[in-house]
Amino acid sequence: MDTCDRPARLAVGVIGAGRVGSVLGAALKAAGHRLVAASGVSEESRRRALERLGVEPSRPEEVVQRSELVLCTVPDDALPGLVAGLVATGTEVRGKIFVHASGAYGLAVLDPATRAGALPLALHPVMTFTGRDDDLTKLDGCPFGVTAPDALRPIAEALVIEMGGEPVWIAEQDRVLYHTALANAANHLVTLVAESEQLLAGIGVEDPGRMLGPLLNAALDNALRLGINGLTGPVVRGDAGTVRKHVQALISAAPEAAEAYVALARLTADRALAAGLLKPEAAERLLDALGGNIWM
């Protein structure tokens, strides 16, 4: 970005200097903005405020008072109460840019501040953060789900690009479905992999991650490049007998996982059938194998 296209250098405050807030704050600081204040509830967040952001922890209302851009990076369930509480207690928000990083919320959650004169932005990095020092490098090329009023779109875009990200515009009414898609893919992927590692460990495989790694990397690459056309395995082959054995094995070894396997196998069969990868008669055999009789 050319220097003349960059937004004015802003005094930035972070309310909730956790894994996400500390990374975004550090990225804005690296882009030339001034980190002036941060708050955190946990000891870990207060430590990040000191070590990663270079500011002494302070109260949320003090963060707002000192800042021109306020990052509200608290947990989703705490965000509505935080915004409403700041306004209700008389904290001056007029003219300040209020940014949250929640995927599930759009601009409406900032309405109390917006009505009081704040400028609302929703900038959600599509990335997982572990709290490690290498988190900041994850923003390089990271997509951001961005929702902003038309007049503030240039500011939103500039801030995301300054942090190393790529803005992707999400309509207000689509925020929940957008976040559902991301969470369904990323969070459940971790659960599925962890479950498979546990099953392999239970039969004596010493390094389940090493065994799964090449297979999962190839499957993810296929899915991202080819979509449903990258599907392999017994469902798309119509191997109803194998699928039935899988479910019966899970009922014995990990009954809590059997229902999830059945649901995902049915969804996989539906997608494969719709894509023309699975013949109707094969799909019928699969659905029969996934029916109520398998629980007997």
114 and 210 assigned to the same domain: no
Share of the chain above pLDDT 90, in %: 84
Please, how many CA atoms are within 13 Å of residue 69, restricted to the half-sphere of its CB? 23
The torsion angles phi and psi of 96, rounded to 5 degrees, stand at -90, 145
Summarised one tens digit per residue, pLDDT across range 190-233 is: 999 999 999 999 999 999 999 999 999 999 999 999 999 999 99
Rounded distance between C-alpha atoms, residue 280 and residue 244, angstroms: 18
Domain-ending residue, one of 139, 170, 201: 170
Q: Residues 218, 162: one domain? A: no
Strands (E), the chain: 11-15, 34-39, 69-72, 97-100, 119-125, 143-147, 166-169
Residue 187 and residue 160 share a domain: no
The CATH number given to whatever domain includes residue 262 is: 1.10.1040
Q: Answer yes or no: is pLDDT of 131 > 80.
A: no
Residues 58 and 182 in one domain: no
Domain end residue (candidates: 154, 170, 186)? 170
Average per-residue pLDDT in the chain?
93
pLDDT tens-digit series, residues 143-179: 999 999 999 999 999 999 999 999 999 999 999 999 9
Say how many domains are in the chain. Answer: 2
Is the CB of residue 55 less than 8 Å from the CB of residue 34?
no
Q: Please give the single-letter amino acid code of residue 34.
A: R
Q: Do 211 and 238 sit in the same domain of this protein?
A: yes
The verdict on 34 and 165 lying in the same domain is yes
Q: What is the pLDDT of residues 272-293, one digit of tens each?
A: 999 999 999 999 999 999 984 3
Asked whether residue 24 falls in the same domain as residue 149, the answer is yes
Looking at 170, 190, 209, the residue that finishes a domain is 170
Q: Are residues 59 and 137 in the same domain?
A: yes
Please state, in angstroms and as integers, the Cα–Cα distance from residue 262 to each residue in 221, 250, 251, 259, 290, following that order.
Answer: 24, 10, 11, 5, 6
- Whether 141 and 240 map to the same domain: the answer is no
212 and 150 share a domain? no
Confidence of residue 134 (pLDDT cuts 50, 70, 90): confident
Task: Tell me which residue range forms the domain holding 239.
Answer: 178-295
Where residue 132 sits, what CATH number does that domain have?
3.40.50.720
Indicate if the pLDDT at residue 86 is higher than 60.
yes
In a shared domain, residues 145 and 261: no
Domain co-membership, 20 together with 122? yes
pLDDT at 7: 58
Region 52-68 average pLDDT: 93
